[in-house]
A and B are shown apart, each in its own frame.
Chain A
Amino acid sequence: MKEKIDYENLKDELLSVLDSGLKSARKKDHAAEFELYVFYKHSTRVDVKQGVVEATDGLVEGNAVRVAKNNSVSFASSSGISTDRIERSFNEATASLKAVSVKDERFKGFCEPLKPGREGAFSSEILNLSKERLIKYSDGLVKEAKKFDPRVLYATCTCSTDWGGFAVGNTLGLQQASRSASNACQIYCVAAKNEERRTGNEYDISRERVIKSEGLGENAAKQAVALLNAKKLNKTQIMPTIWPPIAASSYLFASLGQSASGRAVVEGLSPLSGKLGKKVAHPGLTIVDDGQDPSSLSTETVDAEGHPQERNTLIEGGVLKNFMFDTYYARIYGAKSTGNCSRGGVFGSSLPYESQLSIQPCYIKVTPGKKSMEKMIKSIDGQAILIADVPIGIFHSDVATGEFSAVAQSVFLVEKGEKKYPLQPVSVAGNFYKGFQNLVDIGSDSQRTPFQTETPTLTLDGFSVVG
Chain B
Amino acid sequence: MLEKLRECVTYGEKLGAEFVEARYDDLVLRTLQRTNDAWKDIILRSRAGAGFVCYCGGASGYSFTSSDTKEALKKTVAQSVKMAKASAKATSLKLDFDKQAPIKSRKADTYPVKIHPQQKGLDYKTGLVNRAVETARDFGKNINNVTGWYGELYGRKVFTNSEGSDINWDFEIVDMRCLVISRMSTGELVIGIEQAGGTAGLEVFQKKGSKPEDIGKAAAIQATEQLKAKSCPAGKFRALIENTLGGVLAHESFGHLSEGDFVVIGGSPLAGKIGKRLGTEHATIVDHGTPDIEKFGGLWVPFDDQGTRAHKTVVLEKGIFKHYLHNRGTAKRLHEDPTGNCRAVHFGFMPIPRMTNTYFAPGDLNREEALELLDTGVYAIQTSGGQVEDDGSFVFKAIRGYWVKNGKIQEPLREVALSGNILELLTKIEGATKDLFIQAGYFGGCGKSGQAPLPVGTGAPEVVIGEVTFGGKAD
Contact = CB atoms under 8 A, between A and B. Distances in A.
Contact of A405 (B46, B389, B472): B472
Given A79-B48, A89-B46, A392 B38 contact: no
B238 interface: no
Interface in B235-258: 235
Given A102-B126, A405-B397, A236 B474 contact: yes
A390 to B, nearest CB: 9
Contact of B393 (A100, A156, A409, A465): A409
A427 B90 contact: no
A77 B261 contact: no
Contacts of B471: 405-407, 427-429, 464, 466
B384 interface: yes
Contacts of B416: 405
A53 interface: yes
Contact of B389 (A53, A78, A199, A396): A199
Nearest to A467: B469
B79 interface: yes
Given A93-B44, A429-B472, A464 B234 contact: yes
Given A153-B266, A393-B397, A400 B63 contact: no
Interface string B1-44: 00000000000000000000000000001010011101111111
A57 B397 contact: no
Interface stretch (A58-66, A295-303, A378-386): A58-66
A139 B79 CA distance: 21
Nearest to A92: B44
Given A47-B449, A407-B419, A401 B473 contact: no
Given A61-B66, A351-B348, A393-B417, A55 B46 contact: no
Contacts of A407: 393-395, 417, 419, 471
A197 interface: yes
Interface stretch (B158-166, B188-196, B316-324): B188-196
B90 A48 contact: yes
A427 B87 contact: no
A418 interface: no
A393 B123 contact: no
Given A49-B261, A393-B387, A429-B417, A75 B41 contact: yes
B298 to A, nearest CB: 23
B391 A401 contact: no
A52 interface: yes
Contacts of B76: 58
Contacts of B269: 195, 197
Interface in A399-445: 400-401, 403, 405-407, 409, 425, 427-430
Contacts of B450: 350
A31 interface: no
A69 interface: no
Interface in A140-187: 153-154, 156
A57 B79 contact: yes
Interface in B371-410: 384-391, 393-397
Contacts of A271: 187, 189
Given A52-B93, A401-B189, A354 B122 contact: no
Given A52-B265, A88-B46, A269-B145, A59 B65 contact: yes
Contacts of A351: 47, 346, 348
B220 interface: no
Nearest to B92: A51
Given A153-B266, A354-B29, A77 B145 contact: no
B265 A50 contact: yes
A8 interface: no
Given A392-B393, A403-B414, A100 B122 contact: yes
A58 B65 contact: yes
Nearest to A403: B415
Interface string A355-396: 010000000000000000000000000000000000011011
A405 B398 CA distance: 11
A269 B422 CA distance: 34
Contacts, number: 264
B361 interface: no
B251 to A, nearest CB: 15
A75 to B, nearest CB: 5
B234 A236 contact: yes
B278 interface: no
B474 A79 contact: no
A132 B45 contact: no
Contact of A51 (B86, B89, B91, B474): B91
Contacts of A96: 42, 44, 122
A139 B388 contact: no
Contacts of B275: none
A409 B392 CA distance: 11
Interface in B450-475: 450-451, 469, 471-474
A199 to B, nearest CB: 7
A43 to B, nearest CB: 8
A131 interface: yes
Contact of B90 (A57, A135, A465): A135
B472 A75 contact: no
A58 B419 contact: no
A113 interface: no
Interface in A261-282: 267-269, 271
Contacts of B188: 401
A326 B46 CA distance: 25
Nearest to B183: A268
Interface stretch (B54-62, B103-111, B169-177, B201-209): B54-62
A400 B181 contact: yes
B270 interface: no
B350 A100 contact: no
Contacts of B39: 73, 102-104
A54 interface: yes
Contact of A356 (B31, B63, B66): B31
A447 interface: no
Contact of B83 (A55, A199, A267, A403): A55
Contacts of A392: 387-389, 393-395
Contacts of A93: 44
Given A49-B261, A51-B93, A401-B188, 18 more contacts: A51-B265, A57-B79, A57-B82, A61-B66, A80-B67, A88-B46, A99-B122, A131-B83, A238-B474, A268-B145, A271-B189, A354-B29, A392-B387, A393-B386, A395-B387, A400-B181, A400-B189, A405-B419
Interface of A: 46-62, 73-80, 82, 85, 88-89, 92-93, 96, 99-100, 102-106, 131-132, 135-136, 139, 153-154, 156, 190, 195, 197, 199, 236-238, 267-269, 271, 350-351, 354, 356, 392-393, 395-398, 400-401, 403, 405-407, 409, 425, 427-430, 464-466
21 contacts: A46-B87, A50-B265, A52-B261, A53-B90, A53-B91, A55-B83, A55-B84, A56-B63, A57-B62, A61-B67, A76-B46, A93-B44, A135-B89, A153-B266, A190-B391, A356-B31, A392-B387, A393-B387, A393-B396, A427-B471, A466-B235
Pairs A-B, 6 closest by C-beta atoms: A405-B417, A393-B395, A51-B93, A51-B92, A427-B471, A464-B474
